[in-house]
């Protein structure tokens, strides 16, 4: 009986473990060769901030190879392809999102670090995609994903703990209450696009210190592995008063692949970093966890579990608004906020470890809310 409740039981657990191990090994074993390739192609990072002191603090990072996120994308793709059920539309959409955002990030990194945008002229070696161009690609992806999710799930009704027929995709769920809010298609698409785009950019902003984004991603993805597992098992979803999403349990394999890839990348990205993930890794990682949050109907839970990413993104927004509202004054020494603490005298390792601790706390709070329903 327990095996049935686990939606495949030991088989699913085995596939999750294998996905994590395969992703880890792909990244760890291929990274030395990838690092040599990036160095040979002169794809080294050149940190440039609008702050002289921060430029001085990060000067030693110059020429550290970036675009290492390509291995993260490859590892997740291969592990999912080998071990997930490709008959699940949610898995196929996850792979589509991974390749889409990985391609956007790779294009940005390549032309920013190697040769500049086509037609940008001589000397424009730092011209990648502009922020609004990235957002256009992210929004387009978000619209496509949310429409497919809504269309796929709108005929899927289930009986909840009170005996009512519920459709998960037509409702919005809150962490601290069991009763959902009904959503029409337009509202579903808007919320989904905001979540996918916002999480993709938030992880990108957090990727500014050795091991920071990768470590925090492990914690957030671990939370959504649990949520996808519970949401994909009807009896478990009813016990925790969560929305039941058929096929969502298959996304646990994707989550496990993400965890393995991030842990493998930390092997070479921890202080002092031998390689950076760049937009090639941060954009797809953030977008993929946002997509999983939308599928499992836990958009607000992402704000809790990904508290560090939210804090980083909000600090940038606050800095911009404060700067414009006060005629040039700064709220933080530099944004995202991890740079503020670095400039305040914290060692980079201290900033990273303390943000990891905050990430663990946020993940624990997010899981604790399951009981509060």
Cα(305)–Cα(370) distance, integer angstroms: 12
Q: Which whole number is the average pLDDT over 311-332?
A: 93
CB 314 within 8 A of CB 335: no
Per residue in 283-304, pLDDT tens? Answer: 999 999 999 999 999 999 999 9
pLDDT of 373:
66
pLDDT of 127:
65
pLDDT of 216:
97
Query: Hunting for tokens 């959504």 — which residue is that?
Result: 224
Per residue in 86-129, pLDDT tens? Answer: 999 999 999 999 999 999 999 999 888 765 544 544 444 456 78
Helical segments of 207-274, H only = 212-231, 234-239, 251-269
Q: Which two tokens stand for residue 38?
A: 């990036």
Q: By mean pLDDT, which of 36-40, 80-84, 158-162 is the weakest?
A: 158-162
The b/e string for 166-199 (b: 16+ C-beta within 10 A; e otherwise) is bbbbbebbebeeeebeebeeeebbebbbebbbbb
284: exposed, middle or buried (Cβ count in 10 Å: 0-12, 13-18, 19+): buried
pLDDT of 9:
60
The length of the chain in residues reads 373
């Amino acid at each position: 009986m327990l095996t049935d409740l686990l939606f495949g039981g030991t088989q699913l657990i085995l596939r999750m473990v294998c996905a994590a191990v395969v992703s880890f090994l792909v990244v760890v074993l291929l990274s030395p060769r990838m690092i040599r390739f990036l160095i040979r192609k002169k794809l080294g990072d050149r940190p440039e901030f609008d702050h002289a002191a921060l430029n001085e603090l990060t000067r030693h990072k110059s020429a550290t190879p970036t675009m290492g996120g390509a291995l993260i994308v490859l590892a997740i793709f291969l592990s999912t392809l080998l071990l997930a059920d490709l008959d699940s539309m949610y898995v196929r959409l996850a792979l589509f999102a991974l390749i889409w955002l990985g391609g956007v990030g790779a294009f940005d990194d390549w032309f920013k670090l190697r040769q500049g945008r086509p037609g940008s002229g001589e000397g424009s070696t730092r011209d990648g995609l502009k922020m609004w161009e990235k957002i256009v690609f992210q929004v387009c992806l978000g619209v496509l994903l949310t429409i497919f999710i809504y269309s796929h799930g709108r005929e899927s009704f289930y009986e909840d703990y009170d005996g009512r027929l519920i459709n998960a995709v037509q409702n919005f769920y809150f962490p601290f209450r069991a009763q959902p809010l009904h959503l029409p298609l337009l509202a579903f698409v808007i919320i989904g696009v905001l979540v996918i785009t916002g999480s993709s950019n938030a992880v990108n902003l957090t990727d500014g210190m050795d091991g920071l984004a990768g470590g925090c991603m492990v914690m957030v993805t671990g939370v959504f592995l649990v949520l996808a597992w519970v949401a994909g098992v009807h009896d478990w979803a009813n016990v925790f008063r969560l929305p039941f999403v058929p096929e969502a349990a298959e996304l646990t394999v994707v989550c496990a692949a993400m965890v393995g890839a991030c842990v493998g990348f930390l092997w070479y990205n921890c202080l002092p970093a031998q390689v950076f993930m760049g937009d090639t890794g941060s954009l797809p990682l953030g977008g993929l966890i946002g997509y999983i949050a939308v599928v499992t109907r836990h958009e607000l839970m992402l704000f809790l579990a990904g508290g560090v990413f939210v804090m980083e993104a909000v600090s940038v927004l606050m800095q911009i608004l404060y700067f414009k509202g006060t005629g040039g004054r700064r709220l933080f020494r530099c944004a995202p906020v991890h740079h503020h603490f670095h400039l305040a005298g914290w060692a980079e390792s201290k900033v990273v470890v303390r943000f990891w601790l905050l990430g663990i706390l946020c993940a624990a709070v997010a899981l604790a809310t399951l009981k509060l329903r």
